[in-house]
Amino acid sequence: MVSENIAAEIFKRHPELKKGLTSRQLRVIRKVIVEVAELSSRQTLTSEETERLLRRRVPDAGKPSAALRAYRKRLDLTQRELAERSGIQQPHIAAMESGRRTVGLAAAKKLGLALGVNYRKLV
């Protein structure tokens, strides 16, 4: 129960966490906060343990595939809608998000324009 209070306090102190996120994404974030709070109450996590915990939740964190997916979801776009905005076929976007295809420079520029972000964040 204390962990739930910690999660509620974090969301209260950081309302920006809720901007542009779906209810499912908010539940995942809350679950991670509760899990980290429970783990930290038992022991102090090292930076490596924290990194490992986050990697378990988002295996491709820090990679272009995760950035592309996060920016798309932040705007609440489907892959099909992003395809229409960017001119890149939806199966190619799906492959980039899953890591089966790299986000090349030309694609990153188109996707960056469609998502309203600097293309360098996608390569």
Instruction: Give residue 49's pLDDT.
Output: 79
Give the Cα separation of 81 and 71 in Å (integer): 13
pLDDT of residue 43: 66
Determine the pLDDT at residue 87. 97
- Helix 23-42 and helix 2-13, axial crossing angle in degrees, nearest 10: 130
| Span 19-78, pLDDT tens digits | 777 888 888 888 888 888 777 766 677 778 777 877 777 777 778 998 999 899 989 999
Rounded percentage of the chain residues whose pLDDT exceeds 90: 40
Q: Please give the residue that has the higher pLDDT: either 61 or 91.
A: 91
First to last CA, the chain: 41
Q: What is the pTM of this model?
A: 0.57
